[in-house]
Amino acid sequence: MDFFVLLLGGAVLGLAGVFVRLADTTAHLGPFASAFWRMALAAPFLLAWAGVQWQLQRKPRAAAPDPDPGRAPPQVFSTRPAPPALLAHWPTWALALFAAAMFALDLVFFHLAVITTAVGNATLESNFAPVLITLAFWIITRHAPRPVFLAGLAAALAGAALMIGPNFGHSKALLGDASGLFSAVFYAAYQVGIQQARQRLSTAPLMAVVTLLAAVVLWPFALAEGRMWPTAAIGWVWVIGLALLVQIGGQVVIAYAVRRLNPALSSVGLLVQPAMAVVYAWILLGEALTAAQLLGAGLVLAGIYLARRGMC
C-alpha cells in the first residue's frame, strides 16, 4: 500500500511542468510568478497544518495531569542529534533559510526550463539531484561511491546528451536544458539543507517555514519579471493546482510513504515523477519525443535509479 501511495505522489508531482507551461500559454503568467504563487498559496495551508499539529501535541497534556511534572513539555523539535555533515553546526533558523533559498532558486531554474525546452527534458534534468549530491560528497569526503553509482552516472550523462542533442543550434531550447540542469544543483543543495533541518524540526513546521520563506525569496523575481498576475481566470486554476496538488499533495504524500519503505524500493517508485511528466507533456501538450530522446530518457531514468542504489 505504501508503495502505491508513493507512486501516486510521484505521479502528481509529474504534473508540475505541465501546469507551469499551461499557466504561461493560457494566462501569460511568467515562470517566476507561477513559482511565487505556488509557494504563496501553499504556505497558509501548511501553516494551518503546523498549527493543528501543535494543538494536538498540547491537548493530551491539558486533558490529564502529567505524572512527571519535571519532564520537558512536548516539542516540535526532535531530540535526535543531527548526523555529521557540513551544515550540522548551523543553527536551525539558518538551515531553514538556506533550504528555502535553495528551493526557491531550484524553482526559478526549473520553471524557466519548462517554458524554454520540453517539459520532459526539464523534469528529467531536474531529477539529477541525487547524482549531484553523491558527486559532492565524493569530492568533499574523498570517499569513492560504489561502482553502481559510477555506472548510473555514465548512463544518466549519456541519456542527457541524447535528450539535449536535438536542441543544439536552438539557443532558447538549449538555455532551457541548461536551466533544468542548474535546477538540479539547487535542488540537491535544498535536499542537504532540509535533511539537516529535519533532524531538529518536525515535518509540518519545517515545510510551513520553508515554503513561506521560499515565497519571500521568489517575490522579487516575480515582480521583476513583469508578469505577476494571470491575464485569464484559467491561470488561477493552474497555480492553485501547483500549490495544492503538487506542492502540498505530492510532497506530503511522498513524505508519508518514503519513511515506511526500503530506500531501494523508494528509489524505483520516485522515478515515476519524471516518467509521468513525459507522458503528461505528450498527452496534454503534444510534446512527443524522438526515438533518440526516448532512448535518452530511458538511460536517464536508469542512471538515476542506479545512482540512488549507489547511495543506499
104 versus 273: the higher-pLDDT residue is: 104
User: Which residue in the block uniquely carries the three cell numbers 517508485?
Assistant: 269
Mean pLDDT (whole number) for 289-303: 79
Say whether pLDDT at 20 is over 70: yes
**Is residue 108 situated within a structural domain?**
yes
Q: In the chain, how many domains are there?
A: 1
Tens of pLDDT along 22-74?
999 999 999 999 999 999 999 999 999 888 888 877 766 555 454 444 433 43
The reported pLDDT for the residue numbered 84 is: 43
User: 3-state class of 287 per DSSP?
Assistant: coil
pTM exceeds cut of 0.85: no
Domain that holds residue 184: 2-55+85-129+174-277
**Is residue 150 situated within a structural domain?**
no
**CB neighbourhood size of 225 (10 A):** 16
The reported pLDDT for the residue numbered 19 is: 95
**Is residue 261 situated within a structural domain?**
yes
Say whether pLDDT at 270 is over 70: no
267 confidence band (pLDDT: 50, 70, 90): low
CA distance 15 to 273: 8
**Is residue 148 situated within a structural domain?**
no
**Phi and psi of 77, rounded to 5°?**
-90, 135
